[in-house]
Structure 1
Amino acid sequence: MLPDPPQSQPAISERELVIMLALLQALHAFAVDAMLPALGLISNELNVTDPNKRQLIIGMFLLGLGVGSLIPGSLADRYGRKTVLLVCVAGYVVLSLASALVTDIDVLIGMRFLLGIISSGLSVLPQAIIRDRFEGDRMARLQSMIAMIFLVVPMLAPSIGQAIMLFASWRWIFGAMGLVGVLMMVWAWKRLPETLHPEYRQTIRPATIARNMGEAVMTRSSIGYVLGSACMLGVGWGYIQSSQQLVAEHFGAGTLFPLIFGGMALAMATSNFANSRIVERFGARRVSHAALLTYLTISLVQYSLAQSGHQTLWQFVFVQTLSMMLMGFVGANFGSIALQPFARIAGAASSVQAFIRMVLASLIGWAVGQSYDQTAVPYSQALVLSGVLTLALVLFSEKGRLFRRLNKPGTTHPVAAP
């Protein structure tokens, strides 16, 4: 384990903290999106005969994120956020570099699953760190800012992956993942403070962990938002897994695919920026509920176009971009609403919520991706279904009423100097 940095180091600013947490989370986005242009080459080099099996390189990594999410939150409630986060980044580096040496597709898929498990804290712990310092709509605003910076990586990652393959093998994409991981580990070690309040420190006892996680799961005002976000995230992951086949091959985008994918990510980042500007004024519930209803409407438009049999590339791109922008308004707000009741057990609550969200999303994403049939119809059906289910789940948590604003603007808590 790395030693603590010097005690005289000044406390981290809010801006640097947001950027750091966003880029730590973005290590996962890089592990997914940089691989997309390489899936065809990997499939050919490793002699994969099933055209949809290549999707498992992405899908099993996402499933690993979900399965592993149960672990780091409770550990961080006991040992602190920083120590557990650094271990997760180290695991990301080691398994990324190991993946570059694999010569069998099944071993690579298994390695990606392990990579997801060991680096799952990169999704869980940034949320707990933000919850340590903020609450309510203020927390939603900061999560939107994190998401906005995070989405810079999906904009660039496919082009970076494609650029690497112009000069080297696809294996060097894994090398780039390892290098970026090392840089982030050094930055976090030197600058990230410990945000866990000493009075909130939990014991590592199965009964305590089970009680804390059970409380997070059984809270009605929270669980509908967790399950609803899993529905929408799962369809988004299904799109990512099948996007190379759907956009590049079915709609004929070809080499424009990385630019189109990056443009959609830019639009999603823009919506997160817009959310960060308005959420404290209007409230996370009002903004996310309006976005959800609009998302359902746009999904019906996408379904109608796909069913017509004459949908063009640019029709698909336009409507899909709108859908992703609306996901941007929903995601951060749902996350903050779901985590709001759990200040004392933010790590455990973040873990169990991430576990539910990511496992369900990965299974939904796998089903959506594997349903690809050389058309956009299965994906458009999944969009509509996710919108309907999410609306029902939100209504459950809200006891049938939308657009309420239940909490006041958030307050802050001091952060211990590193």
Structure 2
Amino acid sequence: MSRPSPWARARLALLLGGISAFGPLSIDMYLPAFPEIADGLDTGQAQVQLTLTAFMIGMAVGQAVVGPLSDTLGRRLPLLAGLTAYTMASLACAISPSVFTLVGLRFAQGVAAAAGVVIARAAVRDIFTGPAMARFFSMLMLVSGLAPILAPLIGAQVLRWTNWQGVFVVLAYFGVLLLIAATVCLRETLPPPKRRPANPRQIMRTYLRVATDRTFVAYATSIGFVTAAMFAYIAGSPFVLQELHGLSPQTYSLVFGANALGLMLFTQVNGILLRWLSPRVLLTVGLALSALAGAGVYTAVAMELELVYLLAALFLVVASLGIVSPNATALALADHGNRAGTASALLGVIQFLIGGLAAPLVGLGAERSATPMATVIAGMSAAGLIAFALLRPTRRRPGRYAAFRQADTIPFRPVGSPRGHV
């Protein structure tokens, strides 16, 4: 085994970060167009938000299928198929004649995009172990974190020159670029000796084994609720900030980008703190910060405070995910190295199912009110901390978290290795 050079790590993070950015790009780039989509398709806020829910449910379904497939076929083939399908679905979204057609196509786009998200996580687990895995997830979020910064800015600029359909054309171009990059640069990370047989019963047993691991469920549900709080912000903020507070699409995209920048900064701070603190300690801190920030959002809305207070609380809601996500992901996958694809899939399914259920709740209640968004954000943020406190094991089993007591051993196989390479 050998350690990858800093350049090899950076190159790998750039490629996997771009692949895992499908979700943020597909969600965030069209947010500034929500009001225009509602007008153009002659529909309401709740119906437009269903397109977001459909995409997230599609992501959940897609990850449930692609994860086990990648444990059987390897990471590369399912990824290339997903990138191809994503490009085609994006082009189809651009010519949707009605909002319900768009809802169906967004579901298909989500299923295809799931390949990038689940395989990027599984590939990291194939290559890294121990604290190095948590640090690399932080590095990965530095790259993928650019997506929520740039996506609404790109979307707002596209709207200046064309209509909302142009946003999906840009997403199709992104799919083509990543397809070319993955074909040329990404090698297989799961060698044939480590693949699992394509047996439906075995797949279901593997899912059952992961789903009944109390430790995995604790980490997965905690990150799921915190992610749902961010999805509630994503679903509600275009209408709350543009319709209620009068921000232009360009100003809204700047605010959204600033929050995403906070996510990146907190992610990198987390990577530094991992030198001295364990992922579990940092996860607890991140969950507590998320719960406090969610309470701040609700207070700002309920007391009708000035916009700056609402924006500050929203900033912390988003930024806290930069601490929660890498630590919860690394801890959840730590004990499932030989079934990383399935565990990664189930982790994503939980996140996007909870997020998909949270997003439409924002559209309930009064059309001209921020209270539904604030209530969902506060509730989901608190639920993340409560779920972790209630579900985490009271005692460590022998060998549990052994990966996080190891030195930073990185099972990296260079190009040309007989067991597969990156």
Q: TM-score, normalised by structure 1?
A: 0.92
Match of 2:417 in 1: none
Q: How many angstroms does 1:171 deviate by?
A: 1.5
Q: How does 1:8-407 map to 2 (within 5 A)?
A: 13-48=8-43, 50-255=44-249, 256-308=251-303, 310-371=304-365, 373-400=367-394, 407=404
Match of 1:6 in 2: none
5+ long unaligned stretches in structure 2: 414-419
Distance in 1, Cα, partners of 2:364 & 2:323: 27
CA-to-aligned-CA distance 1:126-152 (integer Å, 9 cap, x gap): 000000011232211111111121121
Distance in 1, Cα, partners of 2:345 & 2:357: 18
Distance in 1, Cα, partners of 2:107 & 2:319: 29
Counterpart amino acid of residue 411 in structure 2: H
Deviates more, 1:377-386 or 1:39-48: 377-386
Q: How many angstroms does 1:373 deviate by?
A: 4.7
Match of 2:410 in 1: 412
Q: How many angstroms does 1:233 deviate by?
A: 0.9
Distance in 2, Cα, partners of 1:265 & 1:371: 28
Closer/same/farther in 2, CA of residues 167 and 174 from structure 1, 3 Å limit: same
Q: TM-score, normalised by structure 2?
A: 0.91
Distance in 1, Cα, partners of 2:305 & 2:105: 38
Distance in 1, Cα, partners of 2:365 & 2:323: 27
Contact 2:296 2:310 in 1 (8 A): no
Q: How many angstroms does 1:274 deviate by?
A: 1.1
Distance in 2, Cα, partners of 1:292 & 1:67: 26
CA-to-aligned-CA distance 1:263-314 (integer Å, 9 cap, x gap): 1111111111111222242111111101212222232233222221x22211
Distance in 2, Cα, partners of 1:231 & 1:220: 16
Closer/same/farther in 2, CA of residues 280 and 198 from structure 1, 3 Å limit: farther
Contact 1:286 1:405 in 2 (8 A): no
Distance in 2, Cα, partners of 1:78 & 1:400: 34
Counterpart amino acid of residue 349 in structure 2: F
Counterpart amino acid of residue 28 in structure 2: D
Q: How many angstroms does 1:398 deviate by?
A: 2.8
Distance in 2, Cα, partners of 1:90 & 1:211: 30
Distance in 1, Cα, partners of 2:378 & 2:96: 39
Contact 1:395 1:401 in 2 (8 A): no
Q: How many angstroms does 1:400 deviate by?
A: 4.8
5+ long unaligned stretches in structure 1: 1-9
Identity %: 25
Contact 1:252 1:313 in 2 (8 A): no
Distance in 2, Cα, partners of 1:71 & 1:280: 36
Q: How many angstroms does 1:357 deviate by?
A: 2.1
Distance in 2, Cα, partners of 1:345 & 1:61: 26
Closer/same/farther in 2, CA of residues 339 and 185 from structure 1, 3 Å limit: same
Contact 1:242 1:372 in 2 (8 A): no
Distance in 2, Cα, partners of 1:193 & 1:88: 16
Closer/same/farther in 2, CA of residues 220 and 345 from structure 1, 3 Å limit: same
Aligned residues: 405
Distance in 1, Cα, partners of 2:364 & 2:189: 41
CA-to-aligned-CA distance 1:299-353 (integer Å, 9 cap, x gap): 2233222221x22211111111022111211111111111111011111111122
Secondary structure in 1 matching 2:21:
helix
Counterpart amino acid of residue 118 in structure 2: V
Q: How many angstroms does 1:192 deviate by?
A: 0.5
Aligned alpha-carbon RMSD (Å): 2.1
CA-to-aligned-CA distance 1:12-47 (integer Å, 9 cap, x gap): 922111111111111222211111111222221211
Distance in 2, Cα, partners of 1:323 & 1:25: 21
